[in-house]
Structure 1
Amino acid sequence: MFKDKLVIISIFLTSNNIFYSVNNTKGEVLFWTSSGSLKLKGSKKTTSMSIPFNLKNIKKFLEALNYSYVFIKIKGFNKNKRYLVKMLKQFFENVILIHEKNSLPHNGCKKPSTRCL
């Protein structure tokens, strides 16, 4: 019963756009949207004003299909990432987990320098 009401929201943040996709537990895409699909152009796609509009669309879709539990995956970097997480907590009441995957390599630990004589 729990799996029937669970949905996975994947959010991919780029420097120019924000992509949202809603999947079921089997991995099938049920709904997707992006800031560009709102007919926003240029730097307006990554502003904090585009985030609530997309989340309202996702919430309407989830209410229509009677999904209640949400698992959220976030990937990428953007200047409005903190604001996005804050808005996700406000829009969705039953958030199971927020999983954040950063894809920025750090090239490992620094090797100690050898002394040259």
Structure 2
Amino acid sequence: MAKITKRSSKKIKRNVPTGIAHINSTSNNTIVTISDLNGNTIAFASAGSSGFKGTRKSTTFATQIAAENATLKAIDQGMKNIEVWFKGQSSGRETAVRAIANKGLRVISIVDRNGVPHNGCRKPRRRRV
């Protein structure tokens, strides 16, 4: 007869002093993921998971609340310093950095990781009215 073992669902508390905050801001939502320097996720939050629905998800206040929620989870894991990497052109980029800094993490650097086109796809023709 096979032995059935019970898995423990207890979260492991790590001590990660430095990490990276990946902030992906689109026109509809903002996703904040905090990882260690190797890229392993420590904490994440989004404007939708913070309780905002519909058009309120794209506001700067929703971005601020999402960044605060992810920061508090990362501080529980022992994080003290953080780098901020942005992706996307939506509003709320500045408020996300302020929210992270106000919660007690020291912002080391800010990096913009927007994709720059190398003249790939042809633009659509101009509309004639």
TM-score between the two structures when normalised by the length of structure 1: 0.75
Q: Is the 8 A contact 2:23 2:87 kept in 1?
A: yes
Superposed CA deviations along residues 29-65 of structure 1, whole A, max 9, x for unmatched, are 1111111112311110011221222122122212211
Residue type at the aligned position of 2:109 = L
Matching residue of 1:6: 18
The question of whether the paired residues in 2 share the 8 Å contact of 1:19 and 1:35 is answered with: yes
1:68 is aligned to 2:80: yes
State the alpha-carbon separation in 1 of the partners of residues 23 and 32 from structure 2. Answer: 5
Gaps of 5+ in 1: 109-117
Task: Give the Cα separation in 2 of the matches to 1:106 and 1:91.
Answer: 39
Matching of residues 5-84 of structure 1 within 5 Å? 5-84=17-96
Identity of aligned residues (%): 25
Cα deviation for residue 17 of structure 1 reads 0.4
| Mapped contact 2:34–2:74 kept (Cα < 8 A) | no
Kept after mapping to 2: 8 A contact 1:7/1:25 = yes
TM-score (normalised: structure 2)? 0.69
Aligned residue pair count? 105
